[in-house]
Amino acid sequence: MPSFTAHSSVSQPDLDSFSKHLKSSKRILALCGAGLSASSGLPTFRGAGGYWRTYDATQLATSEAFMEDPSLVWQFYNYRRHMALQAKPNRAHFALAELARRNPDFLTISQNVDGLSPRAHHPAETLELLHGSLYDVKCTNFHCDYVEQNNFTDPIVPALEIPQNTGADLDISDAEVPLKDISTGDLPHCPKCKTALLRPGVVWFGEPLPVKTVSRIDDWTSQHIDLILVIGTSAIVYPAAGYIATARKMGARVAVVNMERPDSGASKLNAGDWFFQGDARVVVPQILEAVTGNIEEPR
Ligand code: BJW
């Protein structure tokens, strides 16, 4: 019977063999998804919690939904901007940031748009935000190039303020709570062309990913890779999920951290992979400790 370390289902033999490989690894890639931020209180996309009111979150995260009902989609994104600003990075975000400081050849690809890795002081030059950021906005007019980064104004325009009851935000993710009827004129508009709506600077299905980000990842993954950490992602969205196969091809051993064993998708386990089942907030600092040292619970 394998022995298990306290407070997690990580077995000591797995932890030992992983730590040995981690310590000898020079080029390390991490692919992160919504499960990394789940313990910070932010919902994932798929499974329980993947609904906002009665809407499947992946259906709201589309240009079709935005064109059909920009007020609804802006309320969804303004709510997520607000919630992510209230949330705090967890120990897994801090552990990855520390690994980046300790290992000069480490690249983290995050599919998350919540800003928690930057807020955990993850070194910017080692972090690629593949699906953009909730705090970037851009003009919807094809002929206008207006883009604004790090817009943390909450609410982004007064009309989108989340209604309150006796000083507390109403939970507008609950379909029982009525949504405001906001006219298009009161939604965020482009200050440059002064005609078109602004939209969140995130990547929706069918849209190209940021060119600089993809080419940096392509460059980085064109050399030998020792290890890929696949953390809290269902690994079904491409091109992100494809980086696991790319890393394998470049020699990487694979370590998956997830609440659930991946039985399908790009993170399906192969012989020789590590699978660490559990909450990323607990498991990630534990498995990286051999290099990062102990990561304190943030206050
Ligand atoms: C925990 C946990 C805890 C829970 N601890 N774990 C090849 C094949 C097939 C299709 C395609 C292909 N290439 C492209 C496509 C099409 C499409 C695609 O991939 N479709 C698939 C669904 C099949 N891809 C695209 O459209 C992409 N664009 C593109 O390819 O463009 C090409 C192009 C070129 C030139 C011109 C035009 C086009 C764009 C993809 C954009 C994805 N966008 C979203 C929304 C972002 C904005 C927003 O946040 O609102 O990104 S969708 C959504 O999914 C979001 C996420 O980043 C992404 C991935 O989800 P993630 O992070 O994995 O979350 P979940 O919920 O799925 O999983 C959470 C996991 O955590 C689970 O496994 C849990 O068990 C686990 N977990 N708690 C540890 N505490």
Q: Which of 36, 237, 258, 286 for mutating ligand 1's site (highest number of atoms within 8 Å of CB)?
A: 237
What's residue 5's pLDDT?
54
Residue nearest to atom 7 of ligand 1 (CA): 238
Helices 280-292 and 12-24 cross at an angle (nearest 10°) of: 50
Which pLDDT tens digits describe the chain residue by residue (299 residues)?
A: 455 554 567 999 999 999 999 999 999 999 999 999 999 999 999 987 789 999 999 999 999 999 999 999 999 999 999 999 999 999 999 999 999 999 989 999 999 999 999 999 999 999 999 999 999 999 999 999 999 999 999 999 999 999 999 989 999 999 999 999 999 999 999 999 999 999 999 999 999 999 999 999 999 999 999 999 999 999 999 999 999 999 999 999 999 999 999 988 899 999 999 999 999 999 999 999 999 999 998 87
Q: How far, in Å, is the centroid of ligand 1 from the Cα of 126?
A: 21
**Which of 131, 143, 189, 224 does the annotation list as catalytic?**
131
Both tokens assigned to 228 = 């890929």
Q: Which atom of ligand 1 lies closest to the CA of 260?
A: 75
Query: Which are the contacts of 25, defined by CB distance < 8 A and separation ≥ 6?
Result: 103, 226, 227
What's residue 209's pLDDT?
97
Reduced to 3 states, what is the DSSP secondary structure of residue 282?
A: helix
Query: Which are the contacts of 256, defined by CB distance < 8 A and separation ≥ 6?
Result: 230, 231, 262, 267, 269, 273, 274, 275, 276
| CB 147, CB 198: distance < 8 Å | no
What's residue 49's pLDDT?
79
What's residue 264's pLDDT?
84
Q: Which atom of ligand 1 lies closest to the CA of 92?
A: 5
What single string gives the DSSP state of each residue in 214-239?
Answer: HHHHHHHTTS---EEEEES----STT
Has 131 been annotated as catalytic?
Answer: yes
Reduced to 3 states, what is the DSSP secondary structure of residue 257?
A: strand
What's residue 104's pLDDT?
87
Best CA proximity match to 42, nearest among 88, 96, 92: 88
What's residue 27's pLDDT?
98
Q: Which of 44, 76, 113 for mutating ligand 1's site (highest number of atoms within 8 Å of CB)?
A: 44
pTM value > 0.75? yes
Q: Which atom of ligand 1 lies closest to the CA of 111?
A: 57
